Amino acid sequence: MLVSTAGGAQDSRVRGGSQVLATALAERLDDVRLDCPVTSIEQDDTGVHVVYDGGELRCERVIVAVPPTLAGRIRYRPALPAHRDHVVQNCPAGWVIKIQMRFDEPFWREDGLSGMVVGLDHQLSIMFDNSPEDLRCGVLLGFLEANAGRRAALLSPEARKALVLAEAATFFGPRAAAPREYIEHDWAADEWSRGCYGGRLTPNAWTQYGPAIRQPLGRLHFAGAETADVWNGYMDGAVRSGERAAAEVAAALKAAAPAR
């Protein structure tokens, strides 16, 4: 189910790239501030005071929608309850290096291959055909995951690329070792994610702290793929969590509004 395409977790892609979800939402908002990492959030009976690099603002309520490991780095006043703090301490992100390789054409299709690989005994454990709809080129997408990702991250870029191309050639033949373009991104090294595909609760954490990951605390609400009760860790779950947190805020603001 999780690696299946038709009818599974990998069934669909977003036309235009997944960033169009964020850009479309941003177009509907009056004020979007980028490159402004939040450093502290203070709440009291009058509202919420948010401090970020370069400024601050006041508001009625706040939705924290960053990965749990990053949410735990924000300073909160008053300090959050211990259960909330422990749940983010016990929700580390995975280690994934994502690779895209561009070819003149999706040559593997000529060989009757789908481009999908699940090779749990290989360093490059998952691959998909990520070619554009118009087939102006062929693209193979691959992932170095978990221990393989951690080991590969310690290699030089040249050695890591050689490892990936050798693995790709094992699956698709020598043409896979000569892409026109090679791009990689280590999500664990990314300052604003610190890992992929998402956070996963450690043993015993779910039963001991689980509900705290999405329970509102005063004027604070929590969203993000890790807080979803359906498709947890996926983009679908992230959207669902946003809808749930927005509904919480709307209900709270309505309840606090003066009667007319």
Residue 148: which H helix or E strand, with range? helix 146-153
33-92+202-256 maps to CATH 3.30.70.60: no
User: Is 3:119 a contact under the CB 8 Å cutoff?
Assistant: no
- Could you tell me whether strands 75-77 and 96-103 are parallel, antiparallel, or unpaired per DSSP bridges? unpaired
**Position 68 pLDDT exceeds 70:** yes
Model's pTM, two decimal places?
Answer: 0.90
Instruction: Tell me the per-residue pLDDT of 163-204, one tens digit each, with 9 for 90 and over.
Output: 999 999 999 999 999 999 999 999 999 999 999 988 999 999
What count of other Cβ atoms lies within 10 Å of the Cβ of residue 24?
10
Q: By C-alpha distance, which of 92, 158, 106, 147 is closest to 124?
A: 147
What residues does each domain of the chain span? 33-92+202-256, 96-189
- In CATH terms, is domain 96-189 a member of 3.90.660.10? yes
Pull the structure tokens for residue 20: 């169009």
pLDDT of residue 31: 92
pLDDT at 1: 64
Q: What angle is formed at CA 242 by the lines to CA 67 and CA 203, rounded to 5 degrees?
A: 40
Question: Of all helices (H) and strands (E), which one includes residue 169?
Answer: helix 157-172
Nearest by Cα to 114 from 67, 70, 63, 172: 172
Of the CA atoms within 13 Å of residue 87, those in its CB half-sphere come to: 21
Q: Give the pLDDT band of residue 12 (cuts 50, 70, 90).
A: confident
Residue with tokens 């509907």: 28
Give SS3 for 115: coil
